[in-house]
Amino acid sequence: MEVQYLPKFLRQYQKIPKKVKIKAEKQEAIFRKNPFDPRLKTHHLIGKLKEFWSFSVDYQYRIIFQFADENIVWFYLIGTHSIYK
């Protein structure tokens, strides 16, 4: 699966703590093999973000993404639960 990073995602990624970056990279490796692996807690969002999905990096941090097609995923945002607002 190909993951494309949107500019806002990359800007947010630069600001998160190093230990979260390391965990995010591990979670992304799992995601690339199976986006619905139970360790990711992948879920479809609702409301104004109903076109998006999210998975857990750790207890606080999430990645919001969208399936472009069956082989391409766009990572939109990374951050704490505040990114849902």
Average of per-residue pLDDT across 63-84: 91
d(CA 6, CA 75): 6
Q: What is the three-class DSSP state of 31?
A: helix
Please identify which residue in the block is written with the tokens 């619905």: 36
The model's confidence at residue 53, banded by pLDDT at 50, 70 and 90, is very high
Q: Which of 70, 26, 64 is nearest to 48 (CA)?
A: 64
* pLDDT attached to residue 84: 67
Q: Where in the sequence is the domain holding 28, given as residue range(s)?
A: 2-84
CATH number for the domain that contains residue 47? 3.30.2310.20
The tally of domains found in the chain comes to: 1
The model's confidence at residue 4, banded by pLDDT at 50, 70 and 90, is very high
